[in-house]
Structure 1
Amino acid sequence: MDQADRMPADWRDLFALTKPRVMSLVVFTGLCGLVAARAPIHPVIAFTAVLCIALGAGAAGALNQWYEADLDAKMRRTVKRPLPDGRLDRQSALHFGVGLSVFSVILMGVAANWLAAAWLTISILFYVFVYTVWLKPRTAQNIVIGGAAGAFPPLIGWAAATGSTPVMAWLMFAIIFLWTPPHFWALSLFVRSDYAKAGVPMLPVTAGIAATRRHILIYTLPMIAAALAPWALGYAGAIYGIVSAALNLVFLLLAIRVAGNRATEPSGMAPEKKLFGFSILYLFVLFGALVADRLVLA
């Protein structure tokens, strides 16, 4: 498409830079951390804290797309993003991402506390510099280490409510951190050709499909242990314990099916697609059950 034929950028292009689908999960887990803390907090401050988590996540997404604009242009599932499609220039995306980052951190510090603002800063910097700039183009372990970026929201939410980050907040962090590899690798299996074309060393590209399936099953085991830990350690009760056990059993069975799949084409990867879809539901329901359980125990 020629430049003259392209529609001018509008607010929807800036909104697309924030990766709204990813942001919805970030907002939810951040809210869960804030509510699970069971601390008295003014509704306006609580709303502002969650808003800051959303803005920080959006800023990180914008900076990620600014840095990876050329890479996104090589992949079918990202080629229509605002930057590779030419609807937005890179300088505008950079200014938007940096401005949103600074605003979200300052607002969090003023409205809630500076510990929450510090963790929000770390989460943005980790996603942009550690994951996007350093890990993603260099190692197949990018999503293992980089998964920490998406695990910060409940920690930030808890800090916003209490000014502290106790063991339970770190357990919520650990659940997301360990959930990220099997979740993302399931997706990467049926979009492997995109990563291969773009030269991104995702695990299915560097180690192959069979090894990635085994890794999904292997990494599911510590995820299950982390998900059961709040109940086992007495930080959650029977409501969470029962829901967590059921969810983890289903996740494990799906991971076993993935490990046993021998298909090499996307059309034969129904188990991977089912696991990816369920993994999103898994995290929403698991954290929802944790919040409900802690509110009952309050």
Structure 2
Amino acid sequence: MSAVSNGVSLAEPRDFLALLKPRVMSLVVLTAITGLMLSPGHIHPTLAAISILAIAIGAGASGALNMWYDADIDGVMSRTAKRPVPAGRVAPETALAFGLGLALLGVCLLGLAANWFAAALLAFTIFFYAVVYTMGLKRWTPQNIVIGGAAGAFPPMIGWAAVTGSVSIESVVLFLIIFLWTPPHFWALALFKLKDYDNAGVPMLPNVAGERSTRIQIFAYSLLLVPVGVAPWLMGFAGPVYGIASVLLGANFLRHAYATLRMSDGDPKMIAAKKLFGFSILYLFSLFAILLGEAVATQLVLAFGG
């Protein structure tokens, strides 16, 4: 189906919303707000809100540029075939222009509302995701998710930089939580979507190294992730609620990762991998939601508790 019929565009507002990858954007917004709230210093609430909006726009730009470039492989994968560009509802050049326009808007808005260091970090993140990962790593190496995962890990660091104009060890820890979470999260998905990636010619780890090697690496990254997930409490910039939750959530993450490790090759149901994938989303959202909740509570106590 063409994106234009009888001179009339088939695109609806929801198609442009889909180009932004709203589910990914929700994670970006949560982690960016968390970084902003945990950072030392002060930013006016209005400027803080504009900064978060700018980061969200930047995330949307990355999604649109990714969908523009990946339309060919999205069209042959069941998970992505109905996206606006491969489905023919949005023309590729429209998605490209939309993404570039949003990228410019997001970077400039963040620079004007916060500072140009944070804006430069946002610009680098968009470039890394759209060019380094999407155009380069994704189709060339089975380690695409490991290296490319850095793009999704930058938002809390950008939120931190929006207030401080710099980065710190605390923001690096927040970065590392997402960075180390990304491989087990996406490789679990790749295990039960292996045929999709085969059809698209994308060299995901299970397709190249095999299922057993993938399961071993999932477990190895999980072993690295869990202590880093507890680190904010150990380092003193998260409270006891986070400490307890991060330990319990981490133990459950390892339980799912171990169950995935013990799966047999060619398991038709992939139940353990599916459970790990689902729980990994809950794990990351929970960690950052609790961090954010503690930060907000601390601010309220300082403001009204005397």
Please confirm whether the aligned pair reaches a TM-score higher than 0.5, indicating the same fold: yes
Which residue in the other structure is 1:284 paired with? 285
Shift of 1:295: 5.0
Please give the alpha-carbon distance, in whole angstroms, between the structure 2 residues aligned to 1:160 and 1:169. Answer: 12
Shift of 1:217: 0.4
Please give the alpha-carbon distance, in whole angstroms, between the structure 2 residues aligned to 1:265 and 1:72. Answer: 25
Please give the alpha-carbon distance, in whole angstroms, between the structure 1 residues aligned to 2:52 and 2:206. Answer: 35
What are the within-5 Å matches in structure 2 for residues 57-72 of structure 1?
Answer: 57-72=59-74
Structure 2 residue runs without a partner (length 5+):
300-306
What are the within-5 Å matches in structure 2 for residues 137-176 of structure 1?
Answer: 137-176=139-178
| Structure 1 residues 296 and 80: CA distance shift in structure 2, 3 A | closer
**Residue in structure 1 matching 2:106, options 81, 104, 107:** 104
Structure 1 residue runs without a partner (length 5+):
none
Shift of 1:161: 1.8
TM-score (norm 2): 0.92
TM-score (norm 1): 0.95
Which residue in the other structure is 1:135 paired with? 137
What are the within-5 Å matches in structure 2 for residues 159-238 of structure 1?
Answer: 159-238=161-240
Render the CA deviation track for 1:80-107: whole Å, top value 9, x for unaligned: 1111111111111111000100010000
Render the CA deviation track for 1:162-221: whole Å, top value 9, x for unaligned: 222111011100100000000111111111100001100000111111211111101101
Query: Structure 1 stretch 68-77 or stretch 58-67: which is displaced more?
Result: 68-77
Residue identity matched to 1:223: L
Q: Secondary structure at the match of 2:140?
A: coil
Please give the alpha-carbon distance, in whole angstroms, between the structure 2 residues aligned to 1:7 and 1:57. Answer: 25
Which residue in the other structure is 1:273 paired with? 274
Shift of 1:250: 0.4
Please give the alpha-carbon distance, in whole angstroms, between the structure 1 residues aligned to 2:19 and 2:296. Answer: 35
Instruction: State the identity %.
Output: 53
Q: Contact 1:190 / 1:265 at 8 angstroms: preserved in 2? A: no
Q: Contact 2:160 / 2:171 at 8 angstroms: preserved in 1? A: yes
Shift of 1:292: 3.4
| Structure 1 residues 235 and 4: CA distance shift in structure 2, 3 A | closer
Q: Contact 2:212 / 2:265 at 8 angstroms: preserved in 1? A: no
Which residue in the other structure is 1:35 paired with? 37
Q: Secondary structure at the match of 2:14?
A: helix
Q: Contact 1:263 / 1:269 at 8 angstroms: preserved in 2? A: no
Q: Secondary structure at the match of 2:139?
A: coil
Q: Which runs of 4+ in 1 moved over 4 A?
A: 1-7, 294-298
Please give the alpha-carbon distance, in whole angstroms, between the structure 1 residues aligned to 2:136 and 2:290. Answer: 35
Please give the alpha-carbon distance, in whole angstroms, between the structure 1 residues aligned to 2:105 and 2:32. Answer: 18
Q: Contact 1:147 / 1:180 at 8 angstroms: preserved in 2? A: yes
Q: Contact 2:181 / 2:222 at 8 angstroms: preserved in 1? A: yes
Q: Contact 1:237 / 1:297 at 8 angstroms: preserved in 2? A: no
